[in-house]
Every structure is written in C-alpha cells, then in structure tokens.
Structure 1
C-alpha cells in the first residue's frame, strides 16, 4: 500500500484558497467544476468532485446517502473482508481488465 499524498494550501483574507494541482488531478477537476465537502464527526473533511445535476442516479444516490448516514452513526459496525472471501473473489475475476471510464455499448446500457 502506498503512503497517502498530502498537500497544503493557504486561505486568503476572504477565506478563499487555490485547490493544489495534485488534488485537481486526483479529482479530475476542470475550471468551473464543483467540489463536494463531507464533514465527518471527528472533524475530518473529505473533498470529492461534485456530480453534475442530471448525471446522478436518484435511487443510487438515496442508497449511498443511507449507507453514509448509517456508517456515520454506527462506525463500529464496519468489518473488513475475510481474506478467504477476497481470495475467492479474485479467483472469480482472474486477470480481467476493466476500464471504468470506457463508454458502455448500447447492449450494456
């Protein structure tokens, strides 16, 4: 596992900052893109690229919101995957390459 990359930026007198280039690249941000901030109970703030309106699935969004709220309320319920299950999953997918950015065919939509 690689060490997390950490970067800093400075607040201006108007509480504004420039998003560092490494963060922009990691989030695939361009000019005028929006950033989503998730504030966790322990004070951590997680930045993600905001999903443009119309691009999100409302049902999936509700489900993910439910999961996020449940994890926030009950972090003690989180469990790591058993190594035997991980091995089994890896044996099922083998060396399959998946390009998550590839456009789906009409049959796959």
Structure 2
C-alpha cells in the first residue's frame, strides 16, 4: 500500500496560497497550469491536475488574452458596431455554409 503524504499551506489575507512543492511534484504542475477541485459531500476536497480541453487553442488563448488586457487598459477605445456594417457583413456572408467539424484541405492547412 502506498504511503500517504500530508502537507499544509497557509491562506493569505486575500485567500491565496502556495501549492506545496510535494503537491506540485505529485500532480506534475508547472507555472500557469490549472488545478481541478472535487468537493465531496463530507467536505473532503480532492485536488487534481486540470487537463486542458482538447479544443483549447494556445494561440487563440494568447490572442484573446491580449484583447482582454487591451480592453481593460484602454476602455475608451471601444466602439459600437454600426448597424449598417452588420448588414453589410450579413450580405457578404449570407448563404455560405461552413462545417466547423470538417477537416481542412491541404491548401487551407
């Protein structure tokens, strides 16, 4: 039977904590990795390494992060989309069928 290890960490005033090294090693956690919490009915909490969703795109995630930071830092730059622009987009793309699950052709890769 495997030995049970026990470790502690302390909550800061902002309810944050450092994940102890033994836990990081056991879960193979690196910087920016996510932790999954399972809360059981008796109050026991199980930590595990959250596996990234297969549909997560690191490039898209980085781009969305850039947009989020820019919006947060410069909210004055936000502009409403003009209704005429929306109509023009709908006219240009109307009737186009796209299968998001279809594989890309060699030309599109």
Bigger Cα Rg:
2
